[in-house]
Amino acid sequence: MDTPAFRTRITELLGIRYPILLGGMHHLGTSGVVAAVVNAGAMGYITARSFASLDAYRADLRRCRALSGGKPFGVNLTISRRPELNADVPAWIDIACEEGVRLFESAGSAPGALVEPIHRAGGILLHKCPSVRHAVSAQRLGVDAVALVGLEEGGHPGANQLSAFVSGAFALERLQIPLVIGGGIGNGRQVAAALALGADGVIMGSRFMVASEIDAHAAMKQRIVDADEHCSTTILGSLNDTWRVLHNAAAREVQRLEAEGARSHREFGDLILSSRTKARVYLGGEVEEGIVSLGPAGGFADAIEPAGHIVQRLVADAWQACSALRRTVTTTAAGR
């Protein structure tokens, strides 16, 4: 059988075989899983903010290059709303460029300050955002591609009330640069649907949480394997900081505090800190004890398996769905 291949503006721009991107994942998006998706023909972004030091970040970029045999991979630049947490952003870009990385994903706030240094270094910037308005503005600021995520996104979908399939259809009318959509995508049928919509690809996260290469406790992965489409809930909407997460005891406790009137991040103590999630859930396997970014796409996970298998399954299912669509859409003789 022929090997499926997909050709869109994003596969051309990023030099990949399949229009599937693994977005940044705080504390989890490191060289192992990123190299695995790159080796499988997709694209992944190492999350710069995950590392305790710039040296550790550089070392992981080098590890990724070794694991991927020199194939291109990307770096995620998550920009905080709090400027004091962004001091390392220029160093993240410089170190990536020194290590031969040219592909960047930005998220969190407007990408204006990132465009010039990345382009000066010959890089390509994909900006991820939650609304058509932000996508249009990123295009105006000169980014090379946009990822538009809907309310089902694991992580921070913003105050978004729309799914990516709705926003994406509107955005396509207003964007000239390549567009990928994400949020809730965990199955090849949805990849095919995104292409049928006219998007150039998809961006994913939750579905890859169970990948063998993800450096987290097996108990967390098994919790996601056992879950269904109701595995996620949202917290912190009352603070205008909506966060889609695993529906566990920690999330219910945050919801309880919100219902009782907590309205500042401080009032939740360490419950919402990523350091707690890393220590208790990712390393300790205490799956109820910390907040874990996750969307309903986690419900598609049915096994702990290599990221490359996940990519292959997505591609095979997308290919089958595209073939079925081709059979459905036929021509009829005039007059019939």
Ligand X SMILES: Cc1cc2nc3c(=O)[nH]c(=O)nc-3n(C[C@H](O)[C@H](O)[C@H](O)COP(=O)(O)O)c2cc1C
Interface with ligand X (CB under 6 A): 23-26, 28, 47, 49, 76, 78, 107, 128, 149, 152-155, 182-185, 203-207, 209, 293-295, 297
> Residue 309 Cβ, how far from ligand X at the closest point, in Å?
17
Instruction: Report, in Å, the least distance between residue 81 CB and ligand X.
Output: 13
Q: Which residue is nearest to ligand X (CB)?
A: 205
Q: Which is nearer to ligand X, 175 or 209 (CB)?
A: 209
Nearer to ligand X, 78 or 167 (CB): 78
Least separation in angstroms between residue 182's CB and ligand X is: 4
Q: Which is nearer to ligand X, 95 or 216 (CB)?
A: 216
- State the DSSP code for 314: H
Task: Report d(CA 63, CA 169) in Å as an integer.
Answer: 38
Q: What does the DSSP assignment read for 58-90?
A: HHHHHHHHHHTTT---EEEEE--SSGGGGTTHH
Which CB, 183 or 201, lies closer to ligand X?
183
Q: Whole-number minimum distance, CB 218 to ligand X, in Å?
A: 16
Please state, in angstroms and rounded to a whole number, the distance separating the CA atoms of residues 92 and 146: 20
For residues 25 and 162, which CB has a smaller minimum distance to ligand X in the complex?
25
Query: From CA 53, how far away is CA 63, in angstroms rounded?
Result: 15
Q: What single-letter DSSP state applies at residue 277? A: I
The C-alpha R_g of the chain, in whole angstroms, comes to 19
CA dihedral 131, 132, 138, 140 (to 10 degrees): -160
* Cα separation, 191 vs 27, whole angstroms: 26
Least Å from the CB of residue 209 to ligand X:
6
Q: Pick the closer one to ligand X by CB: 88 or 267.
A: 88
Q: Give the nearest distance from C-beta 106 to ligand X in angstroms.
A: 8
Please name which of 313, 305, 278 lies closest in space to residue 293, comparing C-alpha atoms. Answer: 278
